[in-house]
């Protein structure tokens, strides 16, 4: 491998057989190119699906009360379950160690919202300060509700970016403007951005204000929590399931619901949902690998084929070399060395070209469920290594055949 003479011999051969070398290299380079693009798009799909889940914090857990469907402890089915402040406070206290952020939520109903003379038809929700993190809402302007707003029943409102565009288009900034909610002026103090337009059509006000000002009493519509991040995905899923079960059990007991009546209290965990989709993307990834490996096999067969032709074409030359005193191993070494060199160079060429393409085009790809196709360099690198090794193995047969060339026959005049 480090024989300088051999290298010179190989460079000579390559320089003088440019077309043949180019064609061999092209087949390898395109094999690697296809593989990397495929893997890139596999990763792109994974990114896209992950992105769909980024709307809400990935560790979020949501509680939605419903209607009981089973008779339990003398209570009839068909009862509507109403969550109250006490449920939230107690749950927060019980699972204090497990909860990162928590917020109850109330949907304010039977109200009218106006800005100046314009009637707005957006939903108003009372939430706590932590809700920003649970929804993963990004503040574009101003700030979210804070603790002070909650204790002081502040008449403040946070609006979605879409509302800003639709309603406050004429003013520089909606911050400082007042909107009327059932005749009570609320000052706009922040604008948030969400992944989806639908979620930007909301007006958030402090939950305490929502309950006290709009006759909410101590009723809540749903609860939401996020759990602290864990080191790996499996731990996070296990944590989410534990928390979910504990929370449901507590709520079922307080509200006297049969333990198997899942419809009455629905607890939804983003983590569990994510796990299903991760499973899906893993399958997709597996599929792409399968296709990729098939491509590599095709590439190897291609290399082997071309090497066979090369040996055939060079039979006479090999015969001459043997007559001049080339040892069998020097013939094998020459053919293999050249093949490995060509495969490696063109493999890296294909790799670099495809990675550059992914790098340039990738970030601009914005199709549903495909985002920023890219490839892990280590993966690509190891495929090149695999290709070279496989190419060597495939090349060995023709090389060995070359070494067995009969001098007399190869030099016989046609």
Partner 1 sequence: MIEIKDLHKSYKMGSNSLHVLKGINFKVEEGELVAIMGSSGSGKSTLLNILGMLDGADSGEYTLDGVPIKNLSETKAAQYRNKFLGFIFQSFNLINYKSALENVALPLYYQKVPRKERQEKAMKYLERVGLKPWADHLPSELSGGQKQRVAIARAMAAEPKVLLADEPTGALDSTTSYEVMDLIQKINDDGNTILVVTHEEDIAHMCKRIVHLKDGVIVEDKKVEQVRAEQYV
Question: Does 23 engage in binding with partner 1 (CB under 8 A)?
Answer: no
Site for partner 1 (CB under 8 A): which residue of 11, 12, 187, 385?
12
Question: Does 315 engage in binding with partner 1 (CB under 8 A)?
Answer: no
Question: Does 320 engage in binding with partner 1 (CB under 8 A)?
Answer: yes
Minimum distance from residue 289 beta carbon to partner 1 (Å): 41
- With residues binned 3-state (H G I as helix, E B as strand, rest as coil), the percentages for the chain, rounded to 5, are 55, 20, 25
CA–CA distance, 371 with 365 (Å, rounded to integer): 6
How would you write 299-314 as a 3-class SS string?
Answer: HHHHHHHHHHHHHHHC
Question: Does 5 engage in binding with partner 1 (CB under 8 A)?
Answer: yes
Question: Does 16 engage in binding with partner 1 (CB under 8 A)?
Answer: yes
Within 328-347, the residues that bind partner 1 by CB under 8 A are: 328-330
Question: Does 352 engage in binding with partner 1 (CB under 8 A)?
Answer: no
Q: Which two tokens stand for residue 259?
A: 């333990």
Q: Which two tokens stand for residue 388?
A: 């070279």
The count of other CB atoms within 10 Å of the CB of residue 365 is 17
Question: Does 258 engage in binding with partner 1 (CB under 8 A)?
Answer: no
Helix (H) or strand (E) holding 323: helix 315-323
Binding range to partner 1, per CB under 8 A, among 51-59, 145-153, 304-312, 316-324: 316-324
Closer by beta carbon to partner 1, 284 or else 326: 326
Binding range to partner 1, per CB under 8 A, among 135-143, 170-178, 245-253, 315-323: 315-323
The count of other CB atoms within 10 Å of the CB of residue 103 is 24
Question: Does 80 engage in binding with partner 1 (CB under 8 A)?
Answer: no
CA–CA distance, 150 with 276 (Å, rounded to integer): 37
Q: Are 308 and 24 in contact (CB under 8 A)?
A: no
Nearest to 118 by CA among 174, 192, 172, 158: 174
Closer by beta carbon to partner 1, 241 or else 407: 407
Question: Does 319 engage in binding with partner 1 (CB under 8 A)?
Answer: yes
Closer by beta carbon to partner 1, 121 or else 324: 324
Question: Does 326 engage in binding with partner 1 (CB under 8 A)?
Answer: yes
Determine the 3-state secondary structure of 127 from DSSP: strand
Helix (H) or strand (E) holding 120: strand 118-120
Question: Does 26 engage in binding with partner 1 (CB under 8 A)?
Answer: no
Q: Which two tokens stand for residue 180?
A: 């009327």
Closer by beta carbon to partner 1, 20 or else 79: 20
Chain residues in the site for partner 1 (CB under 8 A): 5, 8-9, 12-13, 16-17, 316-317, 319-330, 403, 407-408, 411, 413
């Amino acid at each position: 491998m480090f024989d300088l003479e051999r290298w010179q011999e190989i460079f000579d051969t390559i320089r003088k057989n440019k077309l043949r070398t180019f064609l061999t290299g092209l087949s390898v380079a395109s094999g690697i190119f296809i593989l990397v693009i495929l893997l890139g798009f596999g990763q792109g799909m994974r990114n896209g699906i992950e992105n769909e889940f980024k709307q809400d914090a990935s560790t979020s857990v949501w509680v939605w009360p419903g209607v009981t469907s089973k008779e339990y402890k003398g209570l009839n089915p068909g009862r509507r379950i109403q969550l109250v402040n006490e449920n939230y406070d107690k749950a927060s206290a019980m699972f204090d160690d497990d909860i990162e952020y928590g917020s109850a939520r109330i949907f304010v109903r039977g109200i009218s919202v106006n800005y100046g003379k314009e009637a707005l038809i957006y939903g108003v929700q009372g939430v706590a300060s932590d809700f920003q993190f649970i929804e993963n809402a990004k503040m574009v302007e101003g700030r979210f509700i804070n603790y002070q707003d909650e204790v002081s029943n502040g008449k403040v409102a946070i609006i979605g970016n879409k509302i800003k565009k639709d309603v406050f288009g004429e003013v520089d900034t909606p911050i400082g403007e007042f909107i009327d909610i059932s005749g009570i002026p609320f000052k706009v103090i922040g604008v948030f951005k969400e992944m989806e337009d639908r979620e930007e059509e909301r007006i958030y006000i402090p939950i305490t204000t929502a309950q006290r000002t709009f006759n909410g009493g101590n009723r809540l519509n749903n609860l939401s929590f996020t759990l602290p991040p864990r080191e790996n995905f499996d731990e996070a899923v296990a944590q989410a399931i534990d928390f979910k079960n504990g929370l449901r059990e507590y709520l079922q007991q307080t509200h006297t619901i049969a333990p198997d009546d899942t419809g009455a209290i629905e607890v939804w965990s983003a983590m569990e949902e994510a796990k299903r989709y991760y499973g899906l993307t893993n399958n997709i990834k597996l599929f792409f690998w399968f296709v990729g490996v098939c491509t590599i096999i095709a590439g190897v067969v291609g290399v082997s084929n071309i090497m066979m032709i090369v040996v055939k074409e060079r039979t006479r030359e090999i015969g001459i070399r043997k007559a001049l005193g080339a040892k069998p191993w020097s013939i094998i070494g020459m053919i293999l060395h050249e093949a490995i060199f060509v495969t490696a160079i063109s493999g890296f060429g294909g790799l670099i070209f495809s990675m550059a393409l992914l790098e340039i085009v990738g970030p601009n790809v914005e199709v549903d469920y495909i985002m920023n196709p890219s490839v892990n360099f280590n993966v690509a690198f190891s495929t090149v290594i695999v290709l070279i090794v496989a190419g060597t193995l495939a090349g060995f047969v023709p090389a060995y055949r070359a070494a067995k060339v009969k001098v007399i026959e190869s030099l016989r005049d046609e």
